[in-house]
Chains A and B, each alone.
Chain A
């Protein structure tokens, strides 16, 4: 399978008045044709900024280092007019906030046809017909009427459908969906996810799904990449990640998902502590301050992605999650030298 997107050692940094913030710290991965990749991480893990950088949509104070290639063409540092030939046409993006993502003073039809005008040279009735087809494809009721409506006349779910339809207008090879269901009601979320699963079959576009919701990933994705502190903690096949997580962070994420089978009186597990300050990332593992298996090596040395099981990679010094307590290096770090958050957990 050929790669649609090849990312190598990509870094994103923001200049702020308090110093430089490293949002993404060197990630490498491929997205292959008609593949669905899930990027999972909590707020501030750099998952959104990673793809903002790929799309050239970073805020003005941000800069991108490394490489991101679409079909062999370097996107990082590409002049905007050339980039505009690719984004919206070959690579499309859906954003999380459907309520504010559409221009309030333009009719839905206009916002859709302008994409076709720009990339396909289509105009007038042709573009309108195509827009109507796409609205029908995303199952918007009374699609013909919607073309003449303004965004505020549509519900949140419908607006997100419009966003998806708009992204698919030019039959992109890669669709990046940045938390497409976050701002929606649970029932609408389910509908949108169902729609995305259907569309994935119909369009054959490769999909990158950025989310903090593991459930979303499980239903849609082939591959999963777990992000933390601007790095990949664990990558692999979706089944491997869910059934045999190899990284303490992935395991923590999975444990903090509510389950219907669980007794309602038990407290939901939460990973202790806060995500790291991206301005002062620790020298070693970014997860060290919250990891219950932390040992001296984690503090000293940054773990690199290594194959844990066939096709599954983890950035962790632990031999295995199954017997972490037997790890001989673990005793090397005295309890009082540990971050306070972990100490509390241990003593509890």
Chain B
């Protein structure tokens, strides 16, 4: 398994290179640049700025320079956040997004799986229908509706929690954003769990387990759950990568210093280095999470072989 993991990590290098190259050239192909603004700069200043940031060179040269720097861990200065390097921006924001994302996903897995199992065990009853109804609502309500609603109820009407802000990062500041992040995930995970459970509960080995006189609890926990959770595991890999890199909507609404906003603002401002920083962060996470999913698959299903 170790050699498999190492091989997969090595394979990730060309994958990431392709991602970086594609994003770099696509980004430069987009019209406009970091120094285009409503106020037109004198041509000399613009030329100087471009020269300072190597923007006067052909794109392929810029790419080689960028790649050389990036390989040494230097992701360059941000074009729009003056006096900050990309590493500084992502370095301070990422822990915030990571904490929010991981808490949300943990909450979503615990609640989602429980609800999904419950729905599958009470298939086609009122319990099942209400859980699946709730899940449908959870998926369809966008978080830019859910988040203000939560703020309104718990922040303003009930006054239990702060409306926004990060403060010292203590628990009361993260409850609402985490709930807003987790709700759609709970919905998706509960549906996936139910689907997996329903399918496995119909399988021959579950019938065998019933014929052996095993109690329901043992059948669910020992014979059903591991096989039923495979679709959830597949979903969780990319979902974790997405959640820990922050959500621009949630961060805007709750005024949180995460990195989600950099994805959007970087692109709008043509902040080339910042965009590349976010792309590399997200790409690496996706690659790692997919590897993790494959390894977990092997733990859940002994038929999976690494060779």
Contact = CB atoms under 8 A, between A and B. Distances in A.
Given A81-B215, A85-B213, A105-B227, 17 more contacts: A55-B210, A60-B124, A88-B211, A92-B211, A95-B208, A100-B203, A100-B205, A101-B204, A101-B208, A103-B222, A104-B205, A105-B226, A114-B212, A114-B214, A115-B212, A118-B214, A150-B302
Nearest to B212: A88
B123 interface: yes
Contacts of A163: 208
Interface in B182-233: 203-205, 207-216, 218, 222-223, 226-227
B222 A114 contact: yes
Contact of A103 (B209, B211, B300): B209
A82 to B, nearest CB: 10
Interface string A97-110: 10011111110000
19 contacts: A57-B207, A60-B123, A83-B213, A87-B211, A87-B212, A88-B213, A95-B204, A100-B204, A102-B205, A102-B208, A103-B223, A103-B227, A105-B227, A105-B302, A114-B218, A114-B222, A118-B215, A119-B213, A166-B212
B303 to A, nearest CB: 5
Contact of B205 (A84, A101, A115, A119): A101
B222 A84 contact: no
A93 interface: yes
A129 to B, nearest CB: 19
B46 interface: no
B260 to A, nearest CB: 37
A118 B227 contact: no
Contacts of A60: 123-124
A89 interface: yes
A139 interface: no
A335 interface: no
Contacts of A87: 210-213
B300 A105 contact: yes
| B contact residues, range | 20 to 34
Contacts of A118: 212-215, 218
B227 A104 contact: yes
Nearest to B202: A59
A86 interface: yes
B216 A80 contact: yes
B214 to A, nearest CB: 6
| A contact residues, range | 20 to 34
Contacts of B208: 95, 101-103, 163
Contacts of A95: 204, 207-208, 211
Nearest to B302: A150
A332 B124 CA distance: 52
A239 interface: no
Nearest to B300: A105
A309 interface: no
A152 interface: yes
Interface in A54-86: 55-57, 60, 80-81, 83-86
B125 to A, nearest CB: 10
A43 to B, nearest CB: 17
Top-3 shortest CB links A-B: A88-B213, A88-B212, A100-B204
Contacts of A102: 205, 208
Contacts, number: 79
Interface string A166-193: 1000000000000000000000000000
A83 B226 CA distance: 26
Contacts of A166: 212
A152 B303 contact: yes
Given A101-B204, A104-B227, A55 B209 contact: no
Given A88-B211, A118-B215, A103 B303 contact: no
B56 interface: no
A40 to B, nearest CB: 22
A243 B206 CA distance: 41
Contacts of A86: 213
B220 to A, nearest CB: 12
Nearest to B303: A152
B211 A84 contact: no
Contact of B204 (A85, A92, A97): A97
Nearest to B225: A105
Nearest to A119: B213
Contacts of A97: 204
A101 B124 CA distance: 25
Nearest to B224: A103
Interface in B221-254: 222-223, 226-227
B214 A88 contact: yes
A119 B213 CA distance: 8
A38 B212 CA distance: 22
A103 B205 contact: yes
A66 to B, nearest CB: 21
A115 B219 CA distance: 12
Max chain A C-beta neighbours (<10 A), residue from B216, B218, B302: B302
A104 B123 CA distance: 24
Interface in B103-136: 123-124
B301 interface: yes
A106 B210 CA distance: 16
A84 B302 contact: no
Max chain B C-beta neighbours (<10 A), residue from A86, A100, A102, A103: A103
A282 to B, nearest CB: 32
A110 B160 CA distance: 50
A84 B212 CA distance: 8
A300 B252 CA distance: 79
Contacts of B123: 60
B202 to A, nearest CB: 8
Contacts of A101: 204-205, 207-208
